[in-house]
Structure 1
Amino acid sequence: MTLSLLAGLIGGIGLFLIGMGLMTKGLRNAAGPALRTILGTWTRTPLHGLFSGFMITALVQSSSAVTVAVIGFVNAGLMTLGQSVGVIFGTNIGTTVTGWIVAAVGVSVEVKALALPMIGIGAFMGLTNRKTRRKHLGDALTGFGIFFLGIEVLQSSFLSVGRDLDLSSLHLGSTADILIFVAVGATLTLLMQSSSAAMALIITAAMSGLIPLESAAAGVVGTNIGTTSTAMFSAIGATSNAKKVAAAHILFNLGTGFVAVFLIPLLIMGVRALSADPIAWTATILALFHTGFNLLGVLIFLPLTPRLVAFLDRRIGHDDSEQGRPVYLDDNVLKAPTMAIEALFMELGRLGEMTRLMAQKGLASKFRHKDFIRDKTTLDSLIEAIRRFCEKLGNADLPLAVSARLPKVLRVVQYFDKTSKIMEKISHDHILLDHQIPGSGLRAARVMRREVRDILNVAHTPCAPEFAGLKRSLDHLQDTYHELKDELLRLGAQGRLELNRMVQLLDYYSGMRSMCEQAGKGTLTWAALRESVITCADANEANDYTWKTHE
């Protein structure tokens, strides 16, 4: 009998987790473009962000998925920290929808009559529509059905346990008891990595009479606090923006949980005054309590948003001045491929900026001084970090639109990597002494250096009108180089230029041409990637944010 009960409990929890995983992944993938649109355009103020966070979390049933998307937008400079804080508040209200679903299913629905058709229809949709939105919706529908089956299995198991268990020992009698059940709820969330699944488990146990209402209410508070564990884990090794979003999440949940603990006695007093049989309404009461204390938390924290943002800006992010570390990439963003490709786009923009600045320093010193080459160590570190991120992203289950862009990302990295390697070689192999070039050759050399400088300057402004002519400028640079080459060869043949020096100069300007071409091709490929990732207006805004922040 004990083994049967244990199997039922373990199986019910397993169905919960499998169902929540399928449901979250399916809805998140199906709503991917909508998620980006809503977060990108409906978060102008913290209040707008609050509504957006609630709506999207209620849809995809995963506050962590929304948080990852928020991190991606903050990293890209497309959403301010103040706007993201509003979204984080909204996600906490959105997670309360799970409680209402469990309450509705447990009170008025024959679970199997609802769950089995959902599983069958969802599985059929998933099998017959590979790699389409309908397939993702099918996965979500299957997840809902499995989730509901988990509710029924746990209800049956809890009822069996309740017949043999003396529940009087579980009644709360002190603050210490309340804190114990808060810890139980937080631990369940930590172990399951899903506050929604932990919440459903606690409500189902309370509906079955296994634990009293007071214990369940404390457990519900614990699930809210337990979600901070996900935020804490996500902040490890993350960017400063990710750490700020995670810190806002942690402060809100801890503060709201602290207030909610003091509301439990008031909740019990109110329930007993209004209902002679609170067990019949346990699920509804707990769902209402969960929603109520989260709303109260929003009322407390929303007016404090500017102060919270200022506090986080002062405390977090001062160590990110090291240019070799990614500013936009961390493992949190990998959970949302669309956000990951946008983060890559922004990091590539930063890499391109650093590469072009390095090239301009080299030109300014005529590659004689070694100061500019010190930037190569920083550049190599950032390139390696981007490639590691791409490798992790490539191993994930990617939508076709994202997997099609990943090779372009790697191509951009390769162009900028070649640019830095060429500059290093020029610096090591050559020292330019223009006064050794006769007049006509010197004029041609100056023309070429001016064109290279102009091309690098234009590449700094990808949304400026001049950028449209970048490819033509690169083609013209080829002609300019060949004219210079012909002139140097003519001077060498005439004996006006020492032949060893002529060879050095040809190699030098060939390297300069290659350096400029690689940098230009990297920028053009990045710009082509931009067309499918971000609008030109947003790119300007993001670039302004990025370069002003890191100057």
Structure 2
Amino acid sequence: MNITTFITFAGGIGLFLLGMRLMSDGLKVAAGPALRELLARATKSRLRALGSGALITALVQSSSAMIFSTIGFVNAGLLTLGQAIGIIFGANLGTTLTSWIVAIAGFNVNLQALALPAVAIGMAGWIAGRGRGVAMGQALVGFGVFFLGLDVLKGAFTGAEGMFALAERAGDGPLRIGLFTVIGALMTLLMQSSSAALAVTLTAAASGMLPLPAAAAMVVGANVGTTSTAVFATIGATSPARRVAAAHVAFNLVAALGTLATLPWLLALAKMIAGHDGPPSTLLAIFHTLSNLLGVLLIWPFTDRMVAMLERHFGERERDPAVPHHLDRAVAATPRLAIDALVLETGRMGGLALQMARSALSTGTAAGDDTGLQRQQRTIESLGTAAIEFTSRVNSGGDPEVDAALPDAVRVVQYYRAVAELALELARMPLPSPAPPAQLATPLQALQDMAAQVLAASDPTTDAPLDRAAIDTAAGRFEQVYQDAKAELLRAGSRGMLPATSLVRMLDRISMTRRMVEQACKGGRFLARLAPQPAAI
């Protein structure tokens, strides 16, 4: 291969990858909340999850994007691991559409005549459109660039018969099959796109540069190589993300081993379906589909066991309360899912903060050991920092709801951090000495009981969703009880029933309690506004 051919080849791959990225990103943004609702409604059974995964992956033309979205749905609590695994199986089926596009359109259509109008119309929508029209324009541009890249690849293979001379040197048999499987995996690993590796493979086979068995082995390798994207995404990711990625890897390995073990028979079946005179690109598209179907058939009976096994593993992050359980890069890439994940994480943070508040209210002495409260406060600080950093990584894509929700999420974090700080201060406050007279016990106990009721109404970790009206009602009742207790304390102090030092300490305690309850109420109100309506799953 000379330098000109290499540059053309590399440029064709670059255009192909750019087109795939533009098309996938544009379609995801254009879909907006529809993608979330579609998956929520289409995963009531594992079979429906399989179908929806295949359909959506075929539409967005990226199995990696679908895997990332699925990880986000699991992190955001919208899908169970079992439902997610069904979607993953379907995503691997849906990605075979790329092979069919390359096989059918790539060699039977004037690609420039198809690509250039798409780029022109798409750019017009991208520049002049509004809202989702911009995203659809971007997707259409990506569609055109996708075919331009494919056209350049075709040209690069013309007269470059020596590019895959390794096929002849490797001989026949398992050695050559294994070698080209590794080549397919490495190509996908380097390009981070199985679709691009498949396009290269199908184009090379159609140009006569690759014998059919070697090309089929590269298709298998591309399927294995695509798991690298999911594996890289799980570095430092949440436990649910790692479980989903492990399921993706397991499926592709099972499909690859099953395909390689039955390679001659699958190729024979592909020829039978296409007709023995079918072009190599069509045969490989059929083979690719058969390979992934075989993977589904092999692994489907063991899905429940896989779910149970994965649930038992990758739980070390979940055991550390200071580590976010729902936030990672995969979720941040999809704005609506990022908000769902923030609701879950800040809700978990709020539960810890309110637990601290209850402990502080029941503390009997300032001389007690507050090591546990300090540890909880550090945990809340760590979660708050992670949540705020996460909001800065979320790209709203111009979605006004996301733009409004992100500042609210930061407010919620700050309110719960304040609850934790106030709870620690309250627990450390010295109790009055001597103790207040008996007639003050009733209003002070009423204040503590009412504070507990407000914290219960504001608790985001209960089964019932937060109710802003209920929080407001409880907060209003607390304020009345607080004013009554304060009036009784001032009355007792003015009559000499309570020493000045004890009066000041008691007033400080109830004031601190009031501030803590107010911050908890604010956190609950904003979190209730932030939380989406639960989808029917």
Q: TM-score range by the shorter chain?
A: over 0.9
Structure 2 partner of 1:159: 158
The amino acid that maps onto 2:178 is: L
Unaligned runs of 5+ in 2: none
The structure-2 alpha-carbon separation of the partners of 1:292 and 1:498, relative to structure 1 and needing over 3 Å to count, comes to same
Unaligned runs of 5+ in 1: 542-551
Q: Is the 8 A contact 1:26 1:137 kept in 2?
A: yes
Distance (Å, rounded) in 1 between the aligned partners of 2:132 and 2:382: 38
Structure 2 partner of 1:297: 295
Distance (Å, rounded) in 2 between the aligned partners of 1:322 and 1:164: 52
Distance (Å, rounded) in 2 between the aligned partners of 1:465 and 1:181: 56
Structure 1 partner of 2:530: 529
Deviation at 1:229, TM superposition (A): 0.6
Structure 1 partner of 2:360: 362
Distance (Å, rounded) in 1 between the aligned partners of 2:408 and 2:99: 44
The structure-2 alpha-carbon separation of the partners of 1:28 and 1:164, relative to structure 1 and needing over 3 Å to count, comes to closer
Q: Describe how 1:362-441 pairs up with structure 2 within 5 A.
A: 362-366=360-364, 368=366, 369=368, 370=370, 371-393=372-394, 397=397, 399-428=399-428, 430-433=429-432, 436-441=435-440
The structure-2 alpha-carbon separation of the partners of 1:526 and 1:366, relative to structure 1 and needing over 3 Å to count, comes to farther
**For residues 379-429 of structure 1, what are the alpha-carbon distances to aligned partners after superposition, in whole Å with 9 as ceiling and x for unaligned?**
2222122122122225x745332122100000000100111111122223x
Q: Describe how 1:128-277 pairs up with structure 2 within 5 A.
A: 128-130=128-130, 132-162=131-161, 169=168, 173-268=172-267
The amino acid that maps onto 2:44 is: R
**For residues 518-545 of structure 1, what are the alpha-carbon distances to aligned partners after superposition, in whole Å with 9 as ceiling and x for unaligned?**
0111011100111xx232x87xx9xxxx
The structure-2 alpha-carbon separation of the partners of 1:432 and 1:189, relative to structure 1 and needing over 3 Å to count, comes to same
Q: Is the 8 A contact 1:172 1:178 kept in 2?
A: no
Deviation at 1:466, TM superposition (A): 7.4
Structure 1 partner of 2:19: 19
The structure-2 alpha-carbon separation of the partners of 1:363 and 1:312, relative to structure 1 and needing over 3 Å to count, comes to same
Q: Is the 8 A contact 1:492 1:502 kept in 2?
A: yes
**For residues 114-169 of structure 1, what are the alpha-carbon distances to aligned partners after superposition, in whole Å with 9 as ceiling and x for unaligned?**
01000000110100114x11111111111111110111111111012128986872
Structure 2 partner of 1:546: none
Q: Secondary structure at the match of 1:321?
A: coil
Structure 1 partner of 2:75: 75
Q: Secondary structure at the match of 1:500?
A: helix
What is the percent sequence identity of the aligned residues?
Answer: 41
Structure 1 partner of 2:500: 499
Distance (Å, rounded) in 2 between the aligned partners of 1:53 and 1:192: 23
- Residues 1:348 and 2:346 are matched in the alignment: yes
Q: Describe how 1:35-74 pairs up with structure 2 within 5 A.
A: 35-74=35-74
- Residues 1:477 and 2:475 are matched in the alignment: no
The amino acid that maps onto 1:67 is: I
Deviation at 1:483, TM superposition (A): 2.6
Structure 1 partner of 2:325: 327
Deviation at 1:273, TM superposition (A): 8.2
**For residues 60-84 of structure 1, what are the alpha-carbon distances to aligned partners after superposition, in whole Å with 9 as ceiling and x for unaligned?**
1111222222222222333221111
**For residues 276-308 of structure 1, what are the alpha-carbon distances to aligned partners after superposition, in whole Å with 9 as ceiling and x for unaligned?**
985x61110000000001011111111211111
TM-score by length of 2: 0.93
Q: Is the 8 A contact 1:184 1:222 kept in 2?
A: yes
Structure 1 partner of 2:514: 513
Structure 1 partner of 2:285: 287
Distance (Å, rounded) in 2 between the aligned partners of 1:507 and 1:444: 16
The structure-2 alpha-carbon separation of the partners of 1:277 and 1:21, relative to structure 1 and needing over 3 Å to count, comes to same
The structure-2 alpha-carbon separation of the partners of 1:291 and 1:154, relative to structure 1 and needing over 3 Å to count, comes to same
The structure-2 alpha-carbon separation of the partners of 1:208 and 1:464, relative to structure 1 and needing over 3 Å to count, comes to closer
Distance (Å, rounded) in 2 between the aligned partners of 1:383 and 1:164: 54
The structure-2 alpha-carbon separation of the partners of 1:427 and 1:133, relative to structure 1 and needing over 3 Å to count, comes to same
The amino acid that maps onto 1:521 is: K
The structure-2 alpha-carbon separation of the partners of 1:381 and 1:465, relative to structure 1 and needing over 3 Å to count, comes to closer
Distance (Å, rounded) in 2 between the aligned partners of 1:272 and 1:509: 82
Deviation at 1:49, TM superposition (A): 0.8
The structure-2 alpha-carbon separation of the partners of 1:467 and 1:191, relative to structure 1 and needing over 3 Å to count, comes to same
**For residues 263-286 of structure 1, what are the alpha-carbon distances to aligned partners after superposition, in whole Å with 9 as ceiling and x for unaligned?**
3333455677899985x6111000
Q: Secondary structure at the match of 2:376?
A: helix
The structure-2 alpha-carbon separation of the partners of 1:116 and 1:341, relative to structure 1 and needing over 3 Å to count, comes to same
The amino acid that maps onto 1:216 is: A
The amino acid that maps onto 1:46 is: R
Deviation at 1:174, TM superposition (A): 2.4
Q: Is the 8 A contact 1:122 1:142 kept in 2?
A: yes
Q: Is the 8 A contact 2:254 2:298 kept in 1?
A: no
Distance (Å, rounded) in 1 between the aligned partners of 2:522 and 2:385: 20
Root mean square deviation, CA, Å: 2.4
Deviation at 1:33, TM superposition (A): 1.7
- Residues 1:34 and 2:34 are matched in the alignment: yes
Structure 2 partner of 1:314: 312
Distance (Å, rounded) in 1 between the aligned partners of 2:466 and 2:418: 27
Deviation at 1:343, TM superposition (A): 0.7
**Greater helix fraction, Structure 1 or Structure 2:** 1
Q: Is the 8 A contact 2:85 2:247 kept in 1?
A: yes
Distance (Å, rounded) in 1 between the aligned partners of 2:352 and 2:163: 69
Structure 2 partner of 1:85: 85
Distance (Å, rounded) in 2 between the aligned partners of 1:24 and 1:385: 28
Q: Is the 8 A contact 2:270 2:286 kept in 1?
A: no
Q: Secondary structure at the match of 1:495?
A: coil
Q: Is the 8 A contact 1:462 1:527 kept in 2?
A: no
The structure-2 alpha-carbon separation of the partners of 1:274 and 1:426, relative to structure 1 and needing over 3 Å to count, comes to closer
Q: Is the 8 A contact 1:356 1:519 kept in 2?
A: yes
**For residues 431-489 of structure 1, what are the alpha-carbon distances to aligned partners after superposition, in whole Å with 9 as ceiling and x for unaligned?**
22486212443322122111101111222348479763221321332333233223222
Q: Is the 8 A contact 1:42 1:52 kept in 2?
A: yes
Q: Is the 8 A contact 2:99 2:199 kept in 1?
A: yes
**For residues 483-537 of structure 1, what are the alpha-carbon distances to aligned partners after superposition, in whole Å with 9 as ceiling and x for unaligned?**
322322222222221112211111111010000110111011100111xx232x8
The amino acid that maps onto 1:441 is: L
